[in-house]
Structure 1
Amino acid sequence: MNKEYLGVDVGGTLSKIVYRLEGEWRYKKVPTTRLEDVDQWIQGRFHNPVIHITGGKAGLFTQKSVFPVKKINEFEATCEGVRHLLEENGQYGEAGSRFMVTNVGTGTSIHVVEGDSYERIGGSGMGGGTLLGLSYLLTGEDNYDTILTLGKQGNGASLNVTVRDIYSHENPPISGDLTASNFGNVSNMKEQSFSQEDYIAAVVRMIGETITTMSVQAAERLKTDTVVYIGSTFSQHDTLRDIVQGYTELRGKKALFLDHGEYSGAIGAFLNKGLKKAVL
């Protein structure tokens, strides 16, 4: 019986599955709170699966799975998946031989990649989980798709203090459009009312600016010009992507986004230990 290969990235919020069918990648997402659905889906579709698994909840899936699984280091899998997608998408030349990878999932992890080597150099608790949590606290909304829709419709600029606001009577030493303080404009909050859309838009901007600042500072320190941004938080979130791209370029760096970048960990797990040569 022929073996069927899968890569599974079990994150804190979403579980991502990749497999090959007729020479093409196939992708699936399931909320990690419904982890049993992942195992049932695999049972219903595959007869002799070889499962390479990674991610923060990989241990939990391993306990529940009826199939044997092989655990792959999460950071190793992510960077391997990024390298493969860059090559597959024809973007390796844009990234260069040395680049940053910023993975925005529930939180954010930042790596430097050079050739076949990688190093995790930092991270932040700011990420998709922050978007969900703060949006719920501010608006009572907890559906991710609804939060995305509301955030695209809002404008939270008046909730923030810009550099221009501080240097109101002279030319600022840096761009006046930069945010000096997220949610810092208390006087406006007292005088104006804001919509749910505005609150969520302000949260999105805070997350985008924070992770971009960390990424650009890391790129400066490690002397590279490119940041590759991946993660489920960017999926279907054009507003966040635009903020991150604009802020990265404003700081003098190049921002790259990968098609299916949120599946980097699952793809890297799939390809691990020589499977790339055996299957692709």
Structure 2
Amino acid sequence: MKQSTAGIDAGGSLIKIVYQENERMHFKKFSINQLDSAISWINISAPSLKVSLTGGKASVIQKKHFQGSIVIPEFQATCEGARFLLARENKSIEENYLIVNIGTGTSWHIVNGEKVERILGSGIGGGTFTGLGSFLTQAQGYQQLTILANEGNKGNVDLLVKDIYESSESPINGDLTAANFAKGKKLNHTEADRLASLSNMIAETIVLLTSQAAAIHQVKSAVIVGSAVVGNPSLRISLDFYMKMVGLTPVFLEKGEYSGAIGAYLTV
């Protein structure tokens, strides 16, 4: 029997797995708290694996389960995976561009021809949304949080530009945020409103840093990958809106959350 190959990205929140069988790529993910279940699933679904690992938990998994595997640096794997997906999904970009990986936190990489370099990192990301969201609401789990965020109105929590100018003509879009969470308890608002405000703040911060990086490196496109935008329409819509507003072209990859796992897989 031909040996199966697999790439595993074990990050701070999720374990993402890509493996090939009969010349077809398969994708699967688990919570990091389900590590044993993930390993059992791999061994049942694709026995006799040849494995390559990446991510913060890669060394732990290697020592415990796959001693013969290799560990690929996370940033290298993510960028290689993103470049592979751009071609696979027919979204190739001719000029230089940024890769913005929004996972538990966020990392920025500049792609210059064949050269890829990490240029920036931030603790703002999906972990912020999940962690701070749990403080702001009674919602349990990522899925509930994303559903609520999509239903909320950030204007009930954020101070908007139009709130400041009121009847006067605003010099910029009145729906833009003047100050995140500035209304505090002055107005009645729901858990959904608080999550919408949180999601918007994360999007604004990421776009602000992306636009600064793009200006420094003179690029116009940003490839968005990472698990934080998956199943999170509030965040994705805001990222798309703000990036276009600052003159950037956002490129969302269909399987972008698996970029690290794919990058690891490609090295097997």
Say whether the fold is shared (TM-score over 0.5). yes
| C-alpha deviation, 1:43, in angstroms | 1.8
| C-alpha deviation, 1:195, in angstroms | 1.1
Identity, % of aligned positions: 38
| C-alpha deviation, 1:102, in angstroms | 0.6
CA shift digits 1:96-138 (9 cap, x unpaired): 3310011000111111112221111111111111111111101
Q: What corresponds to 1:270 in structure 2?
A: 265
1:204 aligns with 2:199: yes
Q: What corresponds to 2:55 in structure 1?
A: 55
Q: 1:122 aligns with which of 113, 120, 123?
A: 120
1:230 aligns with 2:240: no
1:98 aligns with 2:96: yes
Q: How many residues matched?
A: 268
Q: Which amino acid aligns with 1:127?
A: G
CA shift digits 1:180-229 (9 cap, x unpaired): 2111123xx22x22111111111111111111111111111110000111
SS of the residue 2:7 aligns to: strand
| C-alpha deviation, 1:152, in angstroms | 1.3
1:218 aligns with 2:203: no
TM-score, normalised on structure 1? 0.90
Q: Which amino acid aligns with 1:202?
A: S
Q: Answer whether contact 1:49 1:67 (CA < 8 A) is retained.
A: no
How far, CA to CA, are the matches of 1:170 and 1:197 in structure 2?
30
Counterparts of 1:28-177 in structure 2, within 5 Å, are 28-66=28-66, 68-92=68-92, 95-168=93-166, 171-177=169-175
How far, CA to CA, are the matches of 1:167 and 1:122 in structure 2?
35
Q: Which amino acid aligns with 2:27?
A: Y
CA shift digits 1:228-249 (9 cap, x unpaired): 1111111111221110000000
Gaps of 5+ in 1: 276-280
Deviates more, 1:262-271 or 1:96-105: 96-105
Q: Answer whether contact 1:160 1:184 (CA < 8 A) is retained.
A: yes
TM-score, normalised on structure 2? 0.94
Q: Which runs of 4+ in 1 moved over 6 A?
A: none
Deviates more, 1:20-29 or 1:8-17: 20-29
